[in-house]
Structure 1
Amino acid sequence: MRNLLPLISSHNAHPGGRSALTCRFRCGDACFKETPNTSDNEYAGDIIARAVSRRSMMRTAAVVTVAAAAGTAALTGPNTPRAEAAALAGHGHKPHPPHKPAPSGARGLRFSPVAPNKNDKVTVPDGYGQNVVIRWGEPILRGAPAFNPEKQTAKAQAGQFGYNNDFLSLLPLRGERGRQVLVANHEYTDEVLMFRGYDPANPTREQVEIAWAAHGLSVVVVQEESRTGKLGAVTRHPLNRRLTATSEFRVTGPAAGSPLLRTSADRTGRKVLGTLNNCAGGTTPWGTTLHGEENFNQYFANGTTAMHKRYGIGSGATERKWERFDRRFDLAKEPNEANRFGWVVELDPYDPDSTPRKRTALGRFKHEAAEPRLTADGRPVVYMGDDEKFDYLYKFVSSKQMKKGTSRAAREHNLTLLDEGTLYVAKLTGDSPVAEIDGSGKLPNDGEFDGSGVWIPLATGTTSHVPGMTADEVYVYTRQAGDKVGATKMDRPEDVEPSPRTGRVYVALTNNSDRGKEGKAPADEANPRNGNKHGQVLELAENWDDPTGDGFAWRLFLVAGDPDDPSTYFAGFPKERVSPISCPDNVAFDAHGNLWISTDGNQLGSHDGLFGVATQGDRRGELKQFLTVPTGAETCGPVIQDRRVLVAVQHPGEVDGASVEKPASTWPDGPGKIVRPSVVAVWRKDGRDIGV
């Protein structure tokens, strides 16, 4: 039996395990609206024949059959990306090696797992400490006042840490001992938990302008305590910065200047005010951060076109009523304004005077994240998920090589890497008979959900590979481009993370309660459960020696849920020795090659949490819960360093019926204090590394 407390029974029938309040303010009640992807989306062979060259298809075949070929002995080693592709590509029964675990667990995961719970606090393993690094409203810029929830102003918020922290990145700060640069996304605002007496039908201009200032990004220097893993914000440091819904952003790449991006306020199509709904992101090898604009649709009123509808933009008023105060949020007046959101934003956190850039070459959709790595010849490849039911998995391969070093010339060159290259969308094919994928989650006869795939090119520079669409249309209406070429409809692809050790790429697929419903896509081998409440983690491998390679092999690494449920799967690891997990969202790696998974919308009755899982060796699939977050909160962020773990505790207290007057949580400051999204650091009390 598992050495865990019994699962807490769940009575929450809201889709995805979220509160109705969360759906209102984060994604505009997407759960209750028609799924934007209504395409038949069959795999159109005639389109693919034109879109993918014969040479590309031959490369695909080489990747997915290499394990069966006589030349497998020539692979370069058991942990190289090429060998990983071969390991994933074999067919037939694939038994796992016998498990002979030592009592202490996989290196990096040697802690006592936290049991499922509903504690209104951050619960961590025995022997670990924690501290709040920074809270919503704490001043980070010179002149910003101390936070006063009863006297909020837009001017004050523009100099204070923003609301609903999500993606986190910690970057080195040379020359300042014990200091690092923390970059945070601020996904959305929850006005009923921010303002006393808030009237959703009649927000005031001041409330709206405070919300604009609470969105966006924060850059803040943090100082570590030498004897522990504690971190604290360094207020008013020269690098500290706030970017909001009204800050200036540049549009770059092949669609910059397109008529589809021009408005009455910006006739160039190259300058945008603001970034919205920044969810997860990524950190580049050249020292910048990437920020995905996700549920931007909810901020725009009066959608009028099929293109608006495909992105989930409604035909009426919005929840926040911003269109009353700025015409750009009213698409009846500015139909192109929404096209200027849904991009990946690149920020240089070391240059507080720089203008962040929206990278059109990476496509426009609901970007959950954008995680890069370098190919063997130094080209960045960025993996991206479109977080919507039945939407797609993408990658971008740059045509330029990164320059090493910190010279001005190298830095300027590297800031152009994401403007030129090829954008692809994924098509996955299972290797089991269709009859063996019955929607129940039962493993097929070969013992795994696995198969092969192809990256279908959509556009390269100003050249479109999608019949009937110009390159500008592919970049601005990327979802429709994926529809046309027959991409695989996935179960909400969110964060995507390549392993720095093996080159394998891990995709968090959070859930999809509509899978298999009448008129919706049925289960397939990559998405094997109808009515999928708990989600899965996909693992894929490419021939990394060829940065233009279109082929990959894939398998499901985890099929989440209660380990006692026969439909769950933990890479073949004994299920009686793993923690329950539901709704994987953000992912990150530690120095030992373990994958860390944060959850959003746990359907097993416990609060959301952070989990570590071994990806290699005889403990592959050993999954352990590291922490849980307070009532109503979601676990975001995570950053896994040797001596500490950082998480963003997002929307604590976001429970149906909650308000400033009737809080559902007292975290982080206790009774009588307003609930505040915050960043938390966790470390070992004995000062040693995490999990060793």
Structure 2
Amino acid sequence: MSSNPSGNRLFQDVVATRLSRRTALTGGVVAAAGFLGAGVAGPGTAAAAGARHRRRLLNFPAVPISSADTLTVADGYTAEVLIPWGTPIRANGPAWRRDASNSAADQARQIGMGHDGMQYFPLGPDRGLLVLNHEYADQVLLFPDGDAVMTPEKVAKSLAAHGVSVVEVALRRGRWQLVDSRYNRRITTDTPVRFSGPLSGNHPALQTGAEPRGTLNNCSCGATPWGTYLTCEENFNEYFATEDPSWEPTPEQARYGVTRWGYGYRWHHGNPRFDLAATPNEPNRFGWVVEIDPRDPNSKPVKRTALGRIKHETATVTESRGRVVVYTGDDQVGEYIYKFVSSGRWRTMRATGRHPLDHGTLYVARFDDDGTGRWLPLKHGTGPLTAANGWRDQADVLLRTRQAADAVGATPMDRPEWIAVHPNTNDVYVTLSNGTGFPNAANPRRPNPFGHIVRWRERHGDATATSFEWDIFLLAGDPDFDPSVPLDAASKFGSPDGLAVDRDGRMWIQSDISNSSLNNPQTYYVNLGNNALLVADPVTGEVRRFAVGPRGCELSGIAFTPDHRTMFINVQHPGEAVPTLERPSPANPRSVSNWPDRDPKGRPRSATVAIRRRDGGVIGR
């Protein structure tokens, strides 16, 4: 559901004009005339001819669509469960209890729930730090008796199941293992944090009478060139509610989807931090990109406010002309794509005591009909963002980032998700998971459940530029419902979400079909099975399914070791309720899935999985 009331021109309307001139349709890729003409291969094109003389990128047999309760990977590969929810992060930590009876204090010393975005930081040959997000908790599975009644202890355990895990892992005798390490730690919704940038910790909007603590709904992520981890706070609004019938949201709160009822967590029943009437400023402390130093276990996470306050889905970092650039999407229907550009060369800034993520310009994207686009600065005193129009200062612009983007005329998008930069071409890709549906030449469906991928190229290949060219890279879908979709049994999918481009140029795409649609005969997703991991060749346009997850899950998080002989992915929320199976309950938590333990008295668990080739070779080759 969109909370964007602006009249800004919808991206679907722009696409309708742009794709009336499309010129290529091949192998799962739809490309329009424009800068992509040289990059996407159509039959008989120069690009296709060149592609015949390059190494094939998709050297594995496609995995078939499946609705089985298992994780299936391509022939020639193995997938080993590494760190499921509840694993103690240190050898002397509390052991996992299969009936979910671990306490809140136990959970704070265990791997969290809802594994999502992830990065690998090498420490040496065959050892490194995995840093992974825990987006949210399934409270039916988190407690032995479910969440019908919430208590302070249950709220504390749910707080501890959220956040981030930092763990050392090592490859020993051909298997990845968790290492007992001084680096291992949990960062939860109760961990002390600090604010930096235009909204420092003493800003009035952040005052609650208590020190800032925690990060929550951590979705996608990024890594900086100086070796830190960026975790993204997404749907923070869902955790706040109140029993006060007189409470009404301010326009700013409404713009972020904050409501009196929240989304069912009922944390306010056990902790006044999450009661909107009792602690009205607490929501302002969330919706940020948070920087974590994985190599300093004593360091405090820092919320970098210069990157804006939205429902961040990613923080993809690249460099250009010595500056650091961070791309991020706002994951809700009708929201926008942003990028932040540091004010100077990041090495010089760090050497002189100025943090590159505290000083710079935040931009929001506008996509124009002719295949060009502009990055519009969200800078106080520029355009409509003036004191005369009610904008007090730059801190106010960043606190109300969505409204600032409305004001400058950004282009609403269908749920911007992950963003990836191609390591060889510098082209930028964003997954748009799905939307409410608007008829247009590229995707004439109402509703529009399947989503697509947009690609753009910054002017002169410079990520700091303020203009770009764009096109549609790929339309997801099922040709059984839309014959114009050029995807076959080996490639059809919907709701693209996770995204990465490896060093050889393969694009890895993870689907996130909502649980309400998975295998549901009443939806467009009836034929697509469980969520999957696919691979696309950006030159030839070929798409192929590489893995399929167990029931009820989303496949999320993609990280590679430097030698690309191991790929880590996350299996998030297996066993969550789906409409075609019995709803999980305290009496039967295994009604949808029992992955990965297969314990007849256990329950499904999110987990990180290490994927390797059986012959030890490079993934994908």
Common fold: TM-score over 0.5: yes
**Match of 1:419?**
358
Name the SS for the 1:156 alignment partner.
helix
2:492 is the alignment partner of 1:580: yes
Matches of 1:417 and 1:246, distance apart in 2: 27
**Match of 2:594?**
666
Q: Which digits, 9 at most, give the CA deviation of each residue in 1:414-462, with x for residues without a partner?
A: 8x1101111111110123xxxxxxxxxxxxxxxxxxx1111111127x9
Does the 8 Å contact 1:282/1:289 carry over to 2? yes
Q: CA 1:412 to 1:561, structure 2 compared with 1: closer, same or farther past 3 Å?
A: farther
Name the SS for the 2:334 alignment partner.
coil
1:242 positional shift: 0.5
Equivalences for 1:117-136 in 2 at 5 Å? 117-136=66-85
Matches of 1:655 and 1:595, distance apart in 2: 30
Name the SS for the 1:481 alignment partner.
helix
1:280 is aligned, of 207, 215, 220, to 220
Does the 8 Å contact 1:89/1:452 carry over to 2? no
**Match of 2:7?**
40
Name the SS for the 1:515 alignment partner.
coil
1:558 is aligned, of 460, 464, 474, to 474
Does the 8 Å contact 2:236/2:286 carry over to 1? yes
Matches of 1:476 and 1:624, distance apart in 2: 42
Matches of 2:283 and 2:441, distance apart in 1: 33
1:660 positional shift: 4.0
2:416 is the alignment partner of 1:466: no
Matches of 2:132 and 2:605, distance apart in 1: 15
Does the 8 Å contact 1:563/1:578 carry over to 2? no
2:173 is the alignment partner of 1:222: no
Aligned residues: 568
**Match of 1:19?**
none
Does the 8 Å contact 2:150/2:270 carry over to 1? no
Q: CA 1:557 to 1:646, structure 2 compared with 1: closer, same or farther past 3 Å?
A: same
Matches of 2:501 and 2:98, distance apart in 1: 37
Does the 8 Å contact 1:123/1:629 carry over to 2? yes
Name the SS for the 1:242 alignment partner.
strand
Does the 8 Å contact 2:239/2:262 carry over to 1? no
Q: Which digits, 9 at most, give the CA deviation of each residue in 1:610-657, with x for residues without a partner?
A: 1111112xx2x1111110110000000012442122111000000241
Q: CA 1:427 to 1:345, structure 2 compared with 1: closer, same or farther past 3 Å?
A: same
Q: Which TM-score applies when normalising by structure 1?
A: 0.77
2:148 is the alignment partner of 1:181: no
Matches of 2:440 and 2:282, distance apart in 1: 36
The one-letter amino acid paired with 2:557 is: G
Matches of 1:428 and 1:168, distance apart in 2: 30
2:402 is the alignment partner of 1:479: yes
**Match of 2:577?**
655
1:463 positional shift: 7.3
Identity of aligned residues (%): 41
**Match of 2:329?**
385
2:617 is the alignment partner of 1:688: yes
Matches of 2:140 and 2:603, distance apart in 1: 11
**Match of 2:529?**
606
Does the 8 Å contact 1:194/1:660 carry over to 2? no
**Match of 1:438?**
none
The one-letter amino acid paired with 1:299 is: Y
In structure 2, stretches of 5+ residues that fail to align are: 11-17, 19-32, 243-247, 519-524
Does the 8 Å contact 1:558/1:569 carry over to 2? no
Name the SS for the 1:282 alignment partner.
strand
2:155 is the alignment partner of 1:208: yes
Does the 8 Å contact 2:568/2:608 carry over to 1? yes
**Match of 2:504?**
592
2:254 is the alignment partner of 1:309: yes
Matches of 1:254 and 1:419, distance apart in 2: 7
Does the 8 Å contact 1:290/1:370 carry over to 2? yes
2:605 is aligned, of 676, 680, 686, to 676
1:143 positional shift: 3.9
Q: CA 1:242 to 1:97, structure 2 compared with 1: closer, same or farther past 3 Å?
A: same
**Match of 1:16?**
none
Q: CA 1:650 to 1:591, structure 2 compared with 1: closer, same or farther past 3 Å?
A: same
Q: CA 1:191 to 1:357, structure 2 compared with 1: closer, same or farther past 3 Å?
A: same
**Match of 1:436?**
none
2:437 is aligned, of 487, 495, 515, to 515
Matches of 1:288 and 1:343, distance apart in 2: 16
Does the 8 Å contact 1:494/1:586 carry over to 2? yes
Name the SS for the 2:397 alignment partner.
helix
Does the 8 Å contact 1:578/1:622 carry over to 2? no
2:415 is the alignment partner of 1:492: yes
Does the 8 Å contact 2:423/2:502 carry over to 1? no
**Match of 2:142?**
194
Q: Which digits, 9 at most, give the CA deviation of each residue in 1:503-531, with x for residues without a partner?
A: 1000000001x233xxxxx6587x76542
**Match of 1:233?**
178
Q: Which has the higher strand share?
A: 2
**Match of 2:90?**
141
The one-letter amino acid paired with 1:688 is: G
In structure 1, stretches of 5+ residues that fail to align are: 1-30, 44-63, 65-84, 432-450, 517-521
The one-letter amino acid paired with 1:420 is: H
Q: Which digits, 9 at most, give the CA deviation of each residue in 1:320-365, with x for residues without a partner?
A: 2111222221111222110110000111101111111111111101
Q: Which digits, 9 at most, give the CA deviation of each residue in 1:187-226, with x for residues without a partner?
A: 01111012222242x2122211111111100000001135
Matches of 1:86 and 1:378, distance apart in 2: 29
Name the SS for the 2:74 alignment partner.
coil
1:100 positional shift: 6.9
Matches of 1:533 and 1:588, distance apart in 2: 22
Q: CA 1:105 to 1:534, structure 2 compared with 1: closer, same or farther past 3 Å?
A: farther
Does the 8 Å contact 1:212/1:245 carry over to 2? yes
**Match of 2:28?**
none
Equivalences for 1:515-534 in 2 at 5 Å? 515-516=437-438, 523=440, 529-534=445-450
Matches of 1:390 and 1:96, distance apart in 2: 38
Q: Which TM-score applies when normalising by structure 2?
A: 0.85
Matches of 2:462 and 2:559, distance apart in 1: 30
Name the SS for the 2:283 alignment partner.
helix
Name the SS for the 1:273 alignment partner.
coil
Does the 8 Å contact 1:263/1:336 carry over to 2? yes
The one-letter amino acid paired with 2:300 is: T
Q: CA 1:482 to 1:94, structure 2 compared with 1: closer, same or farther past 3 Å?
A: farther
Equivalences for 1:40-59 in 2 at 5 Å? 40-41=7-8
Equivalences for 1:93-104 in 2 at 5 Å? 97=45, 99=48
1:264 positional shift: 3.0
RMSD, aligned α-carbons: 2.9
1:149 positional shift: 3.6
The one-letter amino acid paired with 1:483 is: D
1:370 positional shift: 0.7
Q: CA 1:100 to 1:544, structure 2 compared with 1: closer, same or farther past 3 Å?
A: closer
1:304 positional shift: 2.3
The one-letter amino acid paired with 1:613 is: A
Matches of 1:557 and 1:370, distance apart in 2: 21
Matches of 2:352 and 2:534, distance apart in 1: 38
Q: Which digits, 9 at most, give the CA deviation of each residue in 1:646-686, with x for residues without a partner?
A: 11100000024112432111100114122111001111111
Does the 8 Å contact 1:515/1:523 carry over to 2? no
**Match of 2:373?**
453
The one-letter amino acid paired with 1:221 is: E
Name the SS for the 2:403 alignment partner.
helix
